[in-house]
Amino acid sequence: MLVWILDVVAGALTCEAMDHRKECHRWYFPSRFSRTILSSDSQSIDVYVDLFARKYPFMGDACNVRQIFVPVNDRNFHWFLVVMDVPTKKTYIVDSLPSVDQTLREDMATKIVGVIEAMCKHIAATNAMIYDPSWPHSRPIEHLPVRRQPNLYDCGLYVIAYQRDWDLLLENPATFGLDRNYRRHVLSCSVHITIQVNGEISLYGKYQKNGHFLANAPCSSHL
């Protein structure tokens, strides 16, 4: 039985990078954010703002943000990353195992971007923050031409790596790859993270302590 990493571990490892680099210009959303948006019971903008900008503040000042990272699960079998990059004025789909028909994932990205735009407008209206109405929804969605993963199960590791090393990835996406010891590093980090499950798991320990754990799984639906 192979060991797969649940998405909560991805959140923990991203949080580790955030704490070390003191990321004040990047927003890292948990996978729960995209899952909620894409589910059939999606919520109103007020609910998204209350949950992801107030209760667990994954958003900051829209005037200062440079990148927004949103991990996305495509029908519970593959992970890819949506990145809104302010300096390049683009929204990227970063996918280590792209599908033949990219329409569905592009539609997912468009919906996520639309919700984030609406959240920014809502926060700007209530907090008198300066907001550029042309960003980010009007920016084109592009597929960043990254190297294809060599197997069917490392997509989650790539999503973690893309967020942690975004600047390096953007410099030369075609040559960016996982180091031979990267999987071992991820497993080592996750094993040493404190296990604390408190009701519904909340990601990213920058805001509160989380539950992080490994699980045996027979398929690649997990990270």
Token pair listed for 223: 């990270």
Ramachandran quadrant class, 212 (left: phi over 0; alpha: psi -120 to 50; beta: rest): beta
Q: What is the pTM of this model?
A: 0.77
**Whole-angstrom distance, CA of residue 216 vs CA of residue 155:** 17
In the CATH scheme, what is the code of domain 23-178?
3.40.395.10
Q: Which residues does 12 contact at the CB level (< 8 Å), separation at least 6?
A: 189, 190, 193, 203, 204, 205, 210, 212
What are the domain boundaries of the chain?
23-178
60-110 pLDDT tens trace = 777 778 899 999 988 878 899 999 988 888 899 999 999 888 899 999 999
Is pLDDT above 50 for 195?
A: no
Cβ atoms within 10 Å, residue 211: 19
